[in-house]
Amino acid sequence: RSLPHLEEAFRARGVPYGLGRGRSFFTRPEVRDLYHALRLSLLEGPPGPEERLSLLAFLRGPWVGLDLSEVEEALRAPDPLPLLPEEVQRKLLELRQLAGLPPLEALKRLSRDEAFLRRLSPRARANVDTLLLLAAMERFPDLEALLEWMRVRAEDPEASELPERSEGVQVLTVHAAKGLEWPVVALFDLSRGENSREEALLVGLRGEVALRGTPAYQEVRKALQKAQEEEALRLLYVALSRAKDVLLLTGSATGRPGPWVRAMERLGLGPESQDPLVRRHPLLKPLPPNPSPEPPPSPSPAPYASLAFSPRPLPWVYSPSAFKKAQEPIPLAEALEKEALPEFPRALGTLVHYAIARHLDPENEGAMAGLLLQEVAFPFAEEEKRRLLEEVRDLLRRYRGMLGTHLAPLEAREEDHAELPLVLPLGGTVWYGVLDRLYRVGGRWYLEDYKTDHEVRPEVYRFQLAIYRRALLEAWGVEAEARLVYLRPQRLHAFTPGELEEALRALEKSPGEAPGAG
């Protein structure tokens, strides 16, 4: 009911828009191609009706690309497989080898096939990556379970809907917006209510039937209204949480507010609220029914349109670790590791820091297995996860070996803070980061940053530690000894206050200029 009014308003003001008529993510052609190919990997003997459909899709799809008229005679046979061209039979044989792999590994290997990737657009490749990420979040005992998961979601009209790409304002339902975000979101017409007309017959939540005029009718009606209101609130939450930066809500004052308006009223943001976030506008005259065929004149540029920030070596908001990565070449050992598994070092560092902050025991199997539920571990195959977990265990053991020798034991710390966020405006840039550990022993403070690097090169982290130490000094008035804790070689490097102040001196003298790392 709201859509015609939106379209009329957009056309009248010359605002480009597109209707986000969503389609299930799992029905995308590239996702369905993977489903059919995986299904054929389990084929034994002549194909049944469903396997025959998968065979047709495979022959026509990116791996083979046949015109089905070329194999029409073979497809009419009860068992078409022996009658297919030799090249096709070879590809089917390669598919069957996937059946012996773990489900996620089979999906990854198939989705990385060059013949498949060559025919995909950048958008389709992104969809395949999303499928891998979603599948990695599940635990499939076998390939049949993975196929069933893909089939069920393809048949669910609201499963991971993705709106079609369009220019201008995207107009779509709340259901179609699930899982998506935009910098600016406007939720239009919160005041619209549900149909209040009494139906002659109602079917209750438990399947009971009630006729209008019977004693059970009002009871069933109240239960249905309560369930509908709960569902409306769930949808409202989905709608409100789609905005990254700016959220606009519109509605009109009405004597019969719906559940969305009632929810906003309970938050103190209803039509009569005095909150400065709520603005009231008088009712405008109806828009002209037809937009003028003449394009609107080009608006005059705003007086500030020609103004621009002058170029600067450093961004306005920056992190010391990002600065370090931009300045320093990657050591050879790290470069080789990143070439083999691009996300491995990041995942390793994230999991080690997470485990240290929470005092996880490397010998506790449950705690270690729980680490793999972190999002950074999702993209990896089972063998890669095992290797990741073994490295995490090893580094945690090394860390524990440093407690009581290089580092103060946990029980001796009078105050202990893990993963402390910080922000420091300095030299025209706002620096931000997370301090791995800050603790006090015997009245003395220690600031520590854990490193999983293969090489010990403290000089490249001097500026980072200087920022952390200065932020702590300005926020808490605490003078702390800043130290790097290298976990692999079990080495500790402490910076002197003079070294750290020297690292900041160039930045303070020339705001916006990139400081040297040395």
Extents of the domains making up the chain? 23-155, 180-266, 339-402, 410-509
Q: Name residues whose C-beta falls within 8 Å of residue 164's C-beta, 6 or more positions apart in sequence.
A: 18, 20, 21, 22, 23
Residue type, 484: L
Question: What integer pLDDT is reported at residue 161 of this predicted model?
Answer: 45
What phi, psi does 493 have (nearest 5°)?
A: -125, 120
Structurally, at CATH architecture level, domain 410-509 sits in Alpha-Beta Complex (3.90)
Buried b (16+ CB within 10 A) or exposed e, 469-500: bbbbeeeeeeebebbbbbbeeeeebebeeeeb
Residue 436: exposure state from Cβ atoms within 10 A (0-12, 13-18, ≥19) = buried
**Among 356, 334, 351, CA closest to 419:** 356
The rounded distance, in Å, linking the Cα atoms of 140 and 136 is 9
Q: Give the β-pairing of 491-494 and 169-171.
A: unpaired
The rounded distance, in Å, linking the Cα atoms of 81 and 462 is 66
Query: Please, which residues bridge with residue 482 across strands?
Result: 447
Element (H, E) at 302: none
In CATH terms, the fold of domain 23-155 is PCRA; domain 4 (1.10.486)
Buried b (16+ CB within 10 A) or exposed e, 291-324: eeeeeeeeeeeeeeeeeeeeeeebeeebbbeebe
Q: Return the axis-axis angle of helices 259-266 and 215-240, rounded to nearest 10°.
A: 60
The rounded distance, in Å, linking the Cα atoms of 421 and 434 is 4
Other beta carbons within 10 Å of 392: 25
What SS3 string covers 1-59? CCHHHHHHHHHHCCCCEEECCCEEHHHCHHHHHHHHHHHHHCCCCCCCHHHHHHHHHHH
Element (H, E) at 228: helix 215-240
Element (H, E) at 475: helix 462-476
The rounded distance, in Å, linking the Cα atoms of 83 and 85 is 7
Question: What integer pLDDT is reported at residue 164 of this predicted model?
Answer: 43
Is CATH 3.90.1530 the right assignment for the domain spanning 180-266? no
The rounded distance, in Å, linking the Cα atoms of 509 and 383 is 51
DSSP conformation class of 464: H
Question: What integer pLDDT is reported at residue 284 of this predicted model?
Answer: 62
Question: What integer pLDDT is reported at residue 399 of this predicted model?
Answer: 97
The rounded distance, in Å, linking the Cα atoms of 237 and 82 is 55
Question: What integer pLDDT is reported at residue 336 of this predicted model?
Answer: 42
Question: What integer pLDDT is reported at residue 518 of this predicted model?
Answer: 36
Phi and psi based region of residue 55 (left: phi greater than 0; alpha: psi -120 to 50; beta: remaining)? alpha
Q: Give the β-pairing of 429-441 and 317-318.
A: parallel
Instruction: Quote the pTM value.
Output: 0.43
The rounded distance, in Å, linking the Cα atoms of 53 and 507 is 66
| Residues listed for the chain | 518
Question: What integer pLDDT is reported at residue 477 of this predicted model?
Answer: 92
One pLDDT digit (tens) per residue for the chain, 518 residues: 566 777 788 888 888 876 654 445 678 888 999 999 999 999 988 888 888 888 988 888 888 888 777 777 787 888 888 888 888 899 999 999 999 888 989 999 898 888 888 888 777 787 788 788 878 878 888 999 999 989 888 876 544 444 444 567 878 777 767 667 788 998 887 876 655 667 777 777 777 888 888 888 888 888 888 888 888 888 888 888 888 888 888 887 777 777 888 888 888 887 777 788 888 777 666 555 555 556 667 778 878 778 776 777 777 788 887 776 666 554 544 444 443 344 788 889 999 999 999 999 999 998 898 898 887 887 788 888 899 999 999 999 999 999 999 999 999 999 999 999 889 998 888 999 999 999 999 999 999 999 999 889 999 899 999 999 999 999 999 999 999 999 999 999 999 999 999 988 877 665 545 564 43
Phi and psi based region of residue 302 (left: phi greater than 0; alpha: psi -120 to 50; beta: remaining)? beta
The rounded distance, in Å, linking the Cα atoms of 485 and 496 is 15
